[in-house]
Amino acid sequence: MLINPSSPHSDDGWLERHIVDPSLKSQQPIVLETKQLRVFYGDNEAIHEGDLKFPEHQISALIGPSGSGKSTYLRSLNRMNDGVARVTGEILYRGVDVNRPEIDVYEMRRRIGMVFQRPNPFSKSIYDNITFALKRRGITDKKVLDETVETSLRQAAIWDEVKDKLNKSALALSGGQQQRLCIARAIAVKPDILLLDEPASALDPVSTGKLEETLLKLKKDYTIIIVTHNMQQAARISDFTAFFNMGRALEFDETSQIFTSPKVQLTNNYVAGDFG
Ligand SMILES: Nc1ncnc2c1ncn2[C@@H]1O[C@H](COP(=O)(O)OP(=O)(O)O)[C@@H](O)[C@H]1O
Ligand SMILES: [Mg+2]
């Protein structure tokens, strides 16, 4: 496919695309929106333009072949690319452009939290993993900390498995438990949005199932954006799906549409398993 990365907008005319505004399809307000987002690693433009809107209390999945820019796009949303890539365009979080230099990145990341591909608990106790960020924010009241530990672990659906060993090392947990602990750690600071980059890629099917159940429960309280390489996973858990190809979101619609009647030929080829 002939896309000239040095002039990303000049060829937009013929690019087949179908991007819906989710607020027209769901009752939920938009909490996060990117406008003309472009991401550069040096001279290499990895995201040519990302114009997507994410609805509140819904799960949106980002799918597409390896190298299509899903992680780059996701990481830009809470500025994890700062210092790594140059990001232009707007990232509107509840109407505020968080891609401006004067934004308090630390506070913004409290509201837009992230869970990574490989579980990365701290080499500390389960309890300390959850309370780490709270203590850094000056919260020392034992009662508040205890309560947060329990609520976060319950929300992440791992409380029953760890409640008797909160002082044991987080590293002694299984991979699936570690990943749910990382979700608990992310929600302990009461975020608004959770970004997850292939959170189940290192997990076995049983742990993956538990993680998916957890995410479905969490959407009651959080807006979730998840990169997944696994199309069945996107189909099972997400409300909206964006299909990325070569640094562009080519199609964004309700998940049922994407998987049953995609409007863009390349999306159709991808979900049919023709490439990826
Ligand atoms: N840290 C980085 N430095 C330079 N190039 C990168 C970096 N991370 C990703 N890229 C490049 O950006 C493009 C998109 O990669 P990525 O966002 O990781 O895709 P995906 O998550 O869809 O597999 C690829 O060409 C990749 O090589
Ligand atoms: Mg990736």
| Homologous superfamily in CATH for domain 19-271 | P-loop containing nucleotide triphosphate hydrolases (3.40.50.300)
State the pLDDT at residue 8.
Answer: 45
Neighbours of 78 (CB within 10 A): 24
Dump pLDDT digits (tens) for 199-229. Answer: 998 888 998 999 999 999 999 999 999 999 8
End-to-end CA gap in the chain: 15
Tell me the pLDDT band of 7, cut-offs 50, 70 and 90: very low
Q: Which residues pair with 86 in a beta bridge?
A: 40
Contact between 114 and 173 (Cβ < 8 Å): no
Ligand 2: distance of its center to the CA of 197 in Å? Answer: 7
Ligand nearest to the CA of 247: 1
Q: What is the pLDDT of residues 52-80, one digit of tens each?
A: 999 999 999 999 999 999 999 999 999 99
Distance 74 CA to ligand 1 centre (A): 11
Q: In terms of DSSP H, where are the helices of the chain?
A: 70-77, 105-111, 126-136, 142-155, 159-162, 175-187, 205-218, 231-237, 255-260, 265-271
Q: Which residues contact 125 (CB under 8 A, 6 or more apart)?
A: 166, 167, 168, 169, 170
pLDDT at residue 276, as a whole number: 72
Looking at residue 104, what is its pLDDT?
97
Give the global pTM: 0.93
Taking the C-alpha atoms of residue 96 and residue 127, their distance in angstroms, rounded to an integer, is: 34
Q: Give the pLDDT confidence of 133-180 residue by residue, as tens digits.
A: 999 999 999 999 999 999 999 999 899 999 999 999 999 999 999 999
Atom of ligand 1 nearest to the CA of 68: 22
Domain boundaries, the chain: 19-271
